[in-house]
Amino acid sequence: MPLYLVRHGETEWNVQRRLQGQGDSPLTPRGLSQVRAYGELLGRLLTAAETEICLSPLPRTRHTAALLAELLSVSADRCAASELLRERHCGTWEGLRFEDLAERHGVEESRRLFRDWDARIGDHGESLAEVHARAQRWLAEPRTSPNTVVVTHGIMSRVFRGAYLSLAPSAILDLPSHSQDRIFCLDAGNVTDLLVPGHE
């Protein structure tokens, strides 16, 4: 049963290069256009009766999932939010620009901390190991539909794909980021990169 991994559409904080974590900002007009492009691609691959949508409960993913459900004609009772799909909690780093982090910690130290598997960033934030444990728990849950669209976030997407492939932490960190011009299809132990045509 394939999983279609979707990142939320572009947000205002994405444009400003701010770290969102479990904070939030609204989708931009470009983000809304991206979601419509996701819907067009998924609409060619899926049928509503055989599809469920699982999503992070944060507002930007809820908005993305609601638009996708409308575009794909998936009913509300086939859409479910899961706390396990939330983005990494980045503590006091949330809302900061990457330039702000570089000023506070230095460029190299900021990168090191962000990629340290066991580091709880931003004082009381979450480690990548903890995000990985959440992804594993979600993946272990039984699926009830032939196709599942998973609407989540950039960091969670990378860790989620690594958990699905049973990769070591170092290999997970080397996976490509989830840009908003693609959807990942996870099926039969493989991850396929689907380019979204017509996105802006």
Q: 3-state secondary structure string, 52-120?
A: EEEECCCHHHHHHHHHHHHHHCCCHHHEEECHHHCCCCCHHHCCCEHHHHHHHHCHHHHHHHHHCCCCC
Kindly report, residue by residue over 37-48, the tens digit of the pLDDT. 999 999 999 999
Per-domain residue ranges for the chain? 3-90+127-195
Burial class (CB in 10 A: 0-12, 13-18, 19+), 145: middle
- Cα 198 from Cα 30, distance rounded (Å): 12
* Helix%, strand%, coil% for the chain, nearest 5: 45, 20, 35
Q: Cα(86)–Cα(120) distance, rounded to whole angstroms?
A: 16
Active site residue: 8, 63, 153, 178, which one? 8
Q: Is the pLDDT of residue 23 over 80?
A: yes
3-90+127-195 under CATH 3.40.50.1240, yes or no: yes
Find out whether 136 and 163 touch, Cβ atoms under 8 Å: yes
Query: Which of 154, 140, 150 minimizes the C-alpha distance to 82?
Result: 150
Helix or strand holding residue 26 (H, E): none
Is 50 in the active site?
Answer: no
- Average pLDDT in the 188-200 region? 87
Assign 200 a pLDDT band (cuts: 50, 70, 90).
Answer: low
Q: Which of 10, 52, 87, 94 is catalytic?
A: 87
> Residue 153's pLDDT is what?
97
pLDDT class of 64 with cuts at 50, 70, 90: very high
105 is catalytic: no
**Is the full-model pTM beyond 0.85?**
yes
Q: Is the pLDDT of residue 199 over 70?
A: no
Three-class SS state of 126: coil
Predicted local confidence at residue 110, as pLDDT: 80
